[in-house]
Amino acid sequence: MATAGPGHLTPDRIREARKDVQRFLLHYEFGLREIGTKIEILRDEFLELHDYNPIEHVTSRVKSPESLLDKVARKGIGRDLDSIREAVTDIAGVRVTCSFTSDVYRLFNLLTQQDDIAVRSVKDYIANPKPNGYTSLHAVVEVPVFLSSGPVSVPVEVQFRTIAMDFWASLEHKIHYKYAGDVPERLTEELRSAADTAAALDSQMARLHREIHGDPAS
């Protein structure tokens, strides 16, 4: 009977590979829960102590195996799990939508100053918007997850943005998807203009809020 060569994918090897990927992604699911709990605690504390909620809503996701493999192929990353773990930092992602820009920076500082959080990278697209007008604050943080086999440090990408920034990003994504990335210049210019309008609205609403309520965290 012919035996399977070293590169042959037998049913047992396929099953084992699937289990490896499931275990790999489970770490990111646990990391997501840790960050989610921290954000919930901050939100509840603001509500109880300051009678103010700086967080409008929170969404989170772990990339599906298909989405992850697609990114690995596009970026030319090695398909082994160690290479993926090192190169792909947005497998687990949390998006925190805040009321005002000041809340974005306040929550970012409160989260990243916690003792068990390590900041891996920060991209401040609010201070330095992308050429297309995109604004948001991105941070890749590492949080420890304590498993039966010991602690594992898991990277989680956290995006902070205001309602206006989130609305703009959602529309831009739909337009980009519709035109498969080849967006007509006219629409690109209108998106840049809309981004300026959204930023101006954020500033105006923040001024009105301060005039009426003052600094909610003071």
Instruction: Spell out the domain ranges in the chain.
Output: 12-163
Per-residue pLDDT of the chain (218 residues; tens, 9 = 90+): 344 445 566 766 666 767 888 889 999 999 999 999 999 999 999 999 888 889 999 999 999 988 998 898 899 998 888 899 999 999 999 999 999 999 999 999 999 999 999 999 999 999 999 999 999 999 999 999 999 999 999 999 999 999 999 999 999 999 988 888 788 999 999 999 999 999 999 999 999 988 887 765 44
Give the CATH H-level superfamily of domain 12-163: Beta Polymerase, domain 2 (3.30.460.10)
Q: Contact at 8 Å (CB) between 210 and 218?
A: no
- Coil, strand or helix at 117: coil
Contacts of 165 (CB under 8 A, 6+ apart): 126, 135, 136, 198, 202
Q: Hey, what are 22's tokens?
A: 């499931």
- The Cα 135–Cα 124 span in angstroms is 8
Q: Which amino acids are annotated catalytic?
A: 157
DSSP 62: E
Pick from 99, 85, 108, 135: nearest CA to 216: 99
Q: Hey, what are 158's tokens?
A: 């956290």
